[in-house]
Amino acid sequence: MKIGVMFPDVSGALMRHSATEKYPFQRQEVTARLRSLLKWNPEACTGCGLCAMDCPAEAIQVNVLDRKAKRFVFAYQVDRCAFCGQCVESCRQGALEMANDRWELAALNKEPFMLYFGDPDDIKAVLAAEPAGEAGIPADK
């Protein structure tokens, strides 16, 4: 039956640095496997669309303009993404990869959250073809 059993911790604390991380002056090191923003490699992609089918948050849409000429527009909605990594698993060509250092994604408007990858002319064509409003992703479901 003792009193103050945490005394060694408390007295040792005077000699220790505080365990608080003073963000943003101190940042934790990112680990190699951290799942942050998605990156798409157009060379390897075949436009099969398995990633879009398997995404639990329906954040990906693969617009196929010309499959033989490999003209794809990969539309990625970052604010829907749950960073689960299923798309990386599902892709049989290894065209998708999650960066491990793009985890500070806060923004003041919606612009940075709607990413289009592909040839700029193709992207314009896709945006023009969609009705006004959220391009590429259906409004519900």
Partner 1 sequence: MNTKQEPQRFVIPIGPQHPALKEPGNFQFTVDGEIVTKAFVRLGYAHRGIEKAAEERTWIQDLYLIERVCGICSHIHALAYCLAVEQLAHVEAPPRAQAIRVLVAELERIHSHFLWMGVSGHEAGFDTFFMYSWRDRERVMNILEKLTGNRVNYSANVLGGVKFDLDKEQIASIRSGIDFLEERTRHYLDVVATDFMFLQRTRGIGVMSRAQAEIMGAVGPTARASNVARDVRKDAPYAAYKEYPVDIILDERGDLEARFEVRLKELFESFYLIRKILDTLPGGELTARMPRKVPAGEAVMRVEAPRGELLYFIRSNGSDKPERLKIRTPTICNLTSVVKLAIGHQLADVPMILAGIDPCFSCNDRSVQIRTSSDPDGRMLSWDELRQHGIDFYKRLEK
Partner 2 sequence: MNWFFVLLSLMVFPGGLFLLAGGMAYEWVDRKMLAVFQNRAGPRWFQPLADTVKLLIKEEIIPDKVNAILFIGLPIAALAGGLTAALYVPVAGLTPVYSFPGDLIVTLYLLSLLTLCMGLAGANTLDRFSLIGATRTLTQVFSYEAPFLLAMLGPALVAGSWQISDINAYAGGHWLILTQPVGFIVAVIGFMGKLVMPPFDAPEAHTEIGAGALTEYSGRGLAFFHLAKAVELIVGLSLVSAFYLGGLATPLEFLVKTLALLFVLIGLQSLLTRMRIDQTVGMWWRYGTLVVLAQWLVIILVMRP
Q: For the CB of residue 33, give the shortest distance to partner 1 in the complex, in Å.
A: 4
Q: What is the rounded distance in angstroms from the CA atom of residue 49 to the CA atom of residue 87?
A: 10
Min dist CB 141 to partner 1, Å, is 8
Residue closer to partner 2 by CB (options 17, 68) is 17
HSE-CB of 85 using CA atoms within 13 angstroms: 9
Cβ atoms < 10 Å from Cβ of 9: 9
Residues lying near partner 1 in the complex (CB under 8 A): 1-6, 8-10, 19, 28, 31-35, 53-57, 82-86, 89-90, 98, 100
Beta-bridged to residue 42, according to DSSP, are: none
Residue 14: name its binding partner from partner 2, partner 1, none (Cβ under 5 to 8 Å by kind): partner 2
Toward partner 2, which CB reaches closer, 11 or 93? 11
Q: Which is nearer to partner 2, 13 or 57 (CB)?
A: 13
The item of partner 2, partner 1, none sharing an interface with residue 120, based on CB under 5 to 8 Å by kind, is none
List residues binding partner 2 (CB under 8 A): 3-4, 6-7, 9-10, 13-14, 16, 18-20, 22
Distance CA 75, CA 130 (A): 12
Contact partners, residue 2, CB within 8 Å, separation at least 6: none
Give dist(CA 107, CA 117) in Å, integer: 19
